[in-house]
Structure 1
Amino acid sequence: MAKPLKHIFICTQNRGPGHPQGSCNQNGCGEVLEEFMFEFQKRDLGEKFRLTMTGCIGPCGSGPSVLVYPEGVMYGKVTKDDVAAIVDEHLLGDVPVARLCVAPEIWG
């Protein structure tokens, strides 16, 4: 297996309803994960990029959260409709999607 160009982590943390931190699962991370998997399969991206489900990766109030390395770019409030932009602009185009980046005081 070759080293991936980028590694995408998708928070799938699940906390119970009413938990003070909330969770990405309560905010639709499942749809985001499915859309990434669909795009990876459709575009045959598995050889260049790695996709990993993870537990909590940070700002729970900004979820669903997606983290892209090696750049360390954190995206927040990602929806399934945002996935194509992340793939096209960031993964393939090497330009982070500014409108989805969390604020520097949260991840900076």
Structure 2
Amino acid sequence: MKDPKGRTVIGFEKHIFVCENLREDGHPRGCCSQKGGAEIRLRFKQEIIEQGLVGKVRANKAGCLDFCEQGPTVVVYPEAIWYRISDPEKDIPDIIKEHCKEGKIVERCRIQL
């Protein structure tokens, strides 16, 4: 069966999961949804389009990624690199360009334990 999008391989070169977990107000760990998770995912999708990576990079919502205190958080596969988005206007374009296009980890955004 021919793929309607013209793909020749299954999957993506990079897959970004953006936490959009929602907890009740006042939860001690907080939640990424209340920190802009949905808007961040949409911004990733827009950046993927702008940088010409449609079909190569995909951004999807995720449930709790369990780094709530550092959120909003994203994880990029297949490398399993975890990032905190503190400045979406700077961080998201840099992650798409540097990580997804150039294969370099954006250290300033990386979650630290």
Which bin holds the TM-score, normalised by the shorter protein?
Answer: 0.7 to 0.9
Q: Percent identity?
A: 35
Separation in structure 1 between the aligned mates of residue 37 and residue 53 of structure 2, nearest angstrom: 20
Change in CA separation of 1:26 and 1:40 when aligned onto 2, cut-off 3 Å: same
RMSD: 1.4
DSSP-derived class of the 1:56 partner: coil
Q: How does 1:69-88 map to 2 (within 5 A)?
A: 69-81=77-89, 82-88=91-97
Residue 72 of structure 2 contacts residue 85 of structure 2 at CA under 8 Å; is this kept in 1?
Answer: yes
Q: CA deviation at 1:61?
A: 0.4
Q: CA deviation at 1:52?
A: 1.2
Residue 85 of structure 2 contacts residue 92 of structure 2 at CA under 8 Å; is this kept in 1?
Answer: no
Is the aligned partner of 1:52 residue 2:64? no
Q: How does 1:9-48 map to 2 (within 5 A)?
A: 9-48=17-56
Structure 1: 5+ residue runs without aligned partners? none
Q: CA deviation at 1:72?
A: 0.8
Higher gyration radius (CA): 2
Q: 1:95 — aligned with what? A: 104
Structure 2: 5+ residue runs without aligned partners? 1-6
Q: Matched residue pairs, number?
A: 104
